Chain A
Amino acid sequence: MTTLEPTFLSSLKEHLTFARELRHLEIHFDPEKCKGIWQCYEVCPIGCWTPNYEERVAVFHNPELCIACGACVLQCPEDAIELRIPD
């Protein structure tokens, strides 16, 4: 059967590796870069971000609830947020 050709198996393997990595991804936030645009707060479906209005920065909390969807990373105009596996 052509369905079990390398492309299918390798993409499945890639997906599993990705899924394993996904479990270990953590948000790294650089408050120095943050300009308080709060797109992260706008798009986070879990509520991991809240705006700090006095200091005009975003605050990351509830890391254990983060589902690593990557929305805040993509929408941050200052590249202040990264998703990576901690060393």
Chain B
Amino acid sequence: MATVFMKWLETSPRDYDRGIQLLTLGKIQHLKERIVREYIHPGMRVLEIGPGTGTLTAMMAQRGAVVTAVDASQEMLEEAELKIRSAGLQDQVTLEHLDASLIGEHYPAGSFDLIVSTLVFSEFPPEEQRYVLEACRKLLAPEGRLLIGDEVVPAKPGARLLFYLVRGPLVLLTWLITRTTTHSLRNFDSLLAQRGFQTEKSASYLGGSLTLFAAQPAPAGAFEPGLPAPVIDRLEGRVTIWTALLDLWLLFFRIIPPYPKKRTGLYAVGHPNPDSPVLVTGNFDLTVRRVVRAIAGKVDAWLLVADSAGINVWCGAGGGYFTAEKVIAALKSSRLEQVVNHHALILPQLCANGVDGWQIRKETGWGVHWGPARAADIPAYLDNKRKKTDPMRWVKFPLKDRLEMVTVTVGFYALLILLPVFIFWRSSFWPLTVSLLGLSYFYAVVHPWLPGRDGLAKSIPLAAIALAGRFTYSILIQPLPTLRLFHWAVGLIGLSVFSAAELQGMSPLMRGEQANWSWEAVIALGLGAIYWLGPLALGWR
């Protein structure tokens, strides 16, 4: 079930397009048409940051512009390429797989007459917005222009209230239909001014909540180039009411989004100096807090939080969300080289399945060291002069972790199974709850000793134990009619298959995690249906 849920969470480029249309009530198309109508001329050299599925890219090329479009998402680029090819515009469009933070180094200064970006800047943390704007100023030719179309939080209190009232339900609806959401810019006018741009005019839609900023670089002499020294927050491993509540939520409902994220960028843990080590991690809030908790008070270090889509580093890397590009983007936009006087990054070992260490080494010149698998070993690893012992490399699945993972799934199933049962079939609520929790936790405890390598195989002995227990109880303490016992047996076998299969995807040691999933689903759902409908047919309910 978790797999189905996780798959449903994934957005396709088409979902994204529909989501954006819905969120902007179709006005994004008006904004794009305006860009083409007012700013695009034939032969113009245009850089588009984050083309998405390439709608605007194709429109600008059709008008005669020579467009270079960079996107960090390979999936989006493939979709854009289809669009460009089918329109026969491939001679005018160059699509590049590149993170926005790298454009400044990738293209020569003054290469573009226009830089355009829609609904991209609001996805960046402030430090990255500054960094990319700085690069844009460099890449624009004299008289060049920057166009940023994005969602903004209206400045006037009345408009802002209306914005939140309308946007709240719209965001929820859009997310449910397309699993797509966007963020909104704040005070972007002043950020543009700070970074040496003069805003010429801005068109706005939807009561000011969708805005097109048009800006030109301030004339030479009017602006001091270069970014101010980076602001670095300090992280402390303190427990507050908020973190305790968050931990409680994440204990039961970890797989339900939105995943709490930490702002990407550079942080200090303890009192690091320019020689202190740099640790890299993903931006899942729980991950960051666990790393900080593991090292605070023991090590003074810099912590570079890269975008892993709010997912833990192993799953984020395995799913293609946490990549070398993301680490490089964080490295560049945090301007780490101005903060430390070495060039060594320590990456979590478990992101090695998706973060290409050689790509980072080659593109940045920074050294990549694979740290320990677990954050708890970081202090010992650093004390040991960045040498790992074998136990630091190896992943185990100890009882504590198994119990945690079962709890993570149990919260989800409580919503999915137990809540409907509570509402529609209250007499079965307690037997089912006790059986589901009992079986899941029992399975977590005995997991390593059950024969079989996958969940389906392991569910057979689990079901046997459950049935033996139930029958013994019936013989010794409370006799039940045969048919009732059979009903129980159907339910227990179904639940055994279900709970064993579910933990499989959460185990780091089982390969082909959900390979038997379809069988498990058929068996568990089939038995569940018999368990549910049988009593109806027999007139028990």
Contact = CB atoms under 8 A, between A and B. Distances in A.
- Please say whether chains A and B are actual partners in one complex: yes
Interface in A14-71: 15-16, 19-20, 22-24, 39, 41-47, 66-71
Given A3-B8, A19-B517, A69-B318, A43 B512 contact: no
Contacts of B356: 74-75
Interface stretch (B297-305, B336-344, B390-398): B390-398
Contacts of A11: 7, 10, 12
Interface residues of A, number: 30
B271 interface: no
B54 interface: no
Interface string B336-359: 000000000000011011101110
Given A11-B10, A11-B12, A47-B390, A23 B357 contact: no
B518 A16 contact: yes
Contact of A44 (B7, B393, B512, B514): B393
Interface stretch (B87-95, B203-211, B239-247, B503-511): B503-511
Given A45-B395, A74-B356, A22 B349 contact: no
A75 B353 CA distance: 8
B87 to A, nearest CB: 22
B515 A20 contact: yes
Contacts of A23: 511-512, 515
Contacts of B518: 16
A12 B4 contact: yes
Interface in B5-53: 7-8, 10, 12, 14-15
A75 B352 contact: yes
A46 B178 CA distance: 38
B177 A39 contact: no
Contacts of A45: 349-350, 373, 393-395, 508
B539 to A, nearest CB: 33
Nearest to B395: A45
A46 to B, nearest CB: 7
Nearest to B370: A42
Contacts of A2: 177-178
Interface in B409-449: none
Contacts of B352: 42-43, 71, 74-75
B3 interface: yes
Give the interface SS of chain A, mostly helix, strand, loop or mixed: helix
B513 interface: yes
B256 to A, nearest CB: 15
Nearest to B510: A67
B262 interface: no
Contact of A75 (B4, B357, B508): B357
A68 B513 CA distance: 10
Contacts of A70: 318, 353
B323 to A, nearest CB: 10
Contact of A12 (B7, B15, B388, B512): B7
B514 A7 contact: no
Contacts of A12: 3-4, 7
A67 B7 contact: no
A19 B353 contact: no
Nearest to B4: A12
Contacts of A43: 349, 352-353, 370, 393
A85 to B, nearest CB: 12
B121 to A, nearest CB: 27
B395 A46 contact: yes
Interface of B: 3-4, 7-8, 10, 12, 14-15, 177-178, 318, 349-350, 352-354, 356-358, 370, 373, 388, 390, 393-395, 508-515, 517-518
12 contacts: A11-B12, A20-B515, A22-B512, A22-B515, A42-B393, A45-B393, A45-B395, A67-B511, A68-B511, A71-B353, A74-B357, A75-B370
Cβ-closest 7 pairs across A and B: A23-B512, A43-B352, A71-B352, A45-B395, A22-B512, A71-B353, A67-B511
